[in-house]
Amino acid sequence: MKVRMVLLAAGVCVLAAAPLLLSDGLVNAAISMLIAALFACAYNLLCGQAGMLSFGHSAYFGVGAFATIHAMNAVDGAGLLPTPLMPLAGALGGLLFGFAAGWFSTQRTGAYFAMITLAIAELLHAIAPQLKGVFGGEAGISSMRMPAWGWDFGSTTEVYYLTLAWVLASLAGLYLLTRTPLGRLALGIRENSHRLRFLGYEVHRVSVLIFALSGMFSGIAGSLQVLSNESANYVMFDTSLSAAVVLNTYIGGVHAFLGPALGAALVTFFGYAVSDLTQSWLLYQGVLFVLVIMFMPTGLAGLLDLACGSARRYGARAVAPAAGLYVLAGGAYAAALVFLTELLQRLFSQDYRSLAQAAGAGHWPPVRMFGHDWTPLGTWTWVAPAALIVAGWLCWRAATAVVRRLQEAAPAMPAGAAGMASPGRTA
């Protein structure tokens, strides 16, 4: 417990010190990561804790965003609330719309529930561009942050601290919620709603409440995005945003409280960092998703749990070589994948094909990649990725051998250590 508090405090300190250490561009990325983390945790309230998989959560994010932008533009641009309190408008919007949508959606369960939430979001997405007064057409609505309480909110640093304050407060709120009876009831809904009904609870009412609270916190996330970008656009209602939050949550791990936050932060950063480096970054992201879901069903939080658990059982020094080998293997496979993808992308591109045509039949001009020229039929061009794949495979085998040796040496497995041998829990 103490260790957790210390780690938490350290984390908050690092976050607070970020603007002093990072460039403006990275501080901006950090703001996006914080917002994504909050959205994912808000979603997890509904999905991981109450077990209701919603596919249209972008609706509540978007409603919160538009509520905020209208609040910012109200009173001739002066704003309905002082800037630091603006997310309350988003919270209210998300809460009210969450109540309305939740009342309808929670009447069904399972796949039908998911479909209803999808339908609501899609309908909103389809109608929004038509209602120009409310949603501003495809250019969206823009606004400006007004100075308040002594700050002018013109610089990225101030926006960062505002975002950080709200995200920390909301996460604290969400965590405290898990400690209340309502939070426990949510777990009950996930585990066995029939039994809950027999115990006398109004399951529908509880579900609506949970839905509305999840909508409220999503609305806060939406409003923080609007404060950062000073504009709101109806593309926020797109299914890709709904899908992104589901993916972030599962990649992070639905069973740990901060799991979704971790997943969202990493995926956002990945998109931010890699999207400028290569055209095929969506392919890498897709492959990463599929691999994580296939091999790490409990998400990254589960993986961390596993690593810490193993370190505690076998001792860090024993586990370290295995962990290092796994990382090396992963790195080698990733490098091979990147190499092959970039090579194929260049070979099949329109420009290369016209260059090849111009060069004549059978003659393949070299391809420029990573600062080198590679000939398509040259040995190194194919030996390099092959070597990487072989190296990765060898490292993987070595790592599994080390783990197996450790497991054989200490056969009694304490309960709760989610090992490689046992399948993960169902979502």
Restricted to residues 42-61, the positions that interact with other proteins (CB under 8 A) are: 47, 53
- Residue 73 touches other proteins, criterion: CB under 8 A: no
Least distance (Å) from other proteins to the CB of residue 158? 11
CB of residue 194 to other proteins, shortest distance in Å = 14
| Contact pick of 177, 283, 311, 417 for other proteins (by CB under 8 A) | 283
Candidates 83-91, 270-278, 325-333, 396-404 — which segment interacts with other proteins by CB under 8 A?
Answer: 270-278
Distances (CA, A) of 277 to 26, 28, 271, 342, 343: 16, 18, 10, 11, 14
Pick from 360, 363, 414, 426 the residue near other proteins by CB under 8 A: 426
Applying CB under 8 A, the site for other proteins has a residue count of 89
CA–CA dist 176, 172 (Å, integer): 6
Residue 76 engages other proteins in binding (rule: CB under 8 A): no
Question: Closest CB to other proteins among 154 and 315?
Answer: 154
Among 11, 77, 82, 286, binds other proteins (CB under 8 A): 286
CB of 131 to other proteins, least distance (A): 6
Distance of closest approach, residue 408 Cβ to other proteins, in angstroms = 26
Site for other proteins in 356-415 (CB under 8 A): 358, 368-371
Query: Does 187 sit near other proteins (CB under 8 A)?
Result: no
Tokens 């100075």 label which residue? 147
**Residue 351 lies near other proteins (rule: CB under 8 A):** yes
Give the span between the Cα atoms of 41 and 159, in whole angstroms: 21
Q: Which stretch binds other proteins (CB under 8 A): 173-181, 293-301, 322-330, 374-382?
A: 293-301
- 117-176 residues near other proteins, rule: CB under 8 A: 118-120, 122-123, 126-127, 129-131, 133-134, 137-140, 142, 144, 154-156
Strand partners, 171: none
In this complex, which beta carbon is closest to other proteins, that of residue 119 or of residue 389? Answer: 119
* Residue 366 to residue 42: CA distance in whole angstroms: 50
Question: Judged by CB under 8 A, does residue 420 bind other proteins?
Answer: no
Single-letter residue type at 144: M
SS3 of residue 70 by DSSP: helix
- Restricted to residues 22-41, the positions that interact with other proteins (CB under 8 A) are 23-26, 28-29, 32
User: How many CB atoms neighbour CB 120 within 10 A?
Assistant: 22
Question: What phi, psi does 150 have (nearest 5°)?
Answer: 95, -15
Distances from the Cα of 320 to the Cα of 89, 100, 176, 302, 402, angstroms: 49, 51, 36, 18, 10
Nearest to 71 by CA among 236, 227, 221: 227
Between 180 and 349, CB nearer to other proteins = 349
Identified binder of other proteins from the candidate list 182, 344, 383, 387, rule CB under 8 A? 344
Residue matched to tokens 């250490």: 21
Q: Does 285 bind other proteins (CB under 8 A)?
A: yes
Minimum Å gap between C-beta 285 and other proteins is 7
Alpha-carbon distance of 355 to 88, in angstroms, equals 57
Q: What string of DSSP letters covers 241-304?
A: HHHHHHHHHHHH-SSSSSHHHHHHHHHHHHHHHHTTT-TTHHHHHHHHHHHHHHH-TTHHHHHH
Identify residue 129 by its one-letter amino acid code: P
Site string for other proteins, 230-249 (x = CB under 8 A): xx-x-xx--x---x--xx--
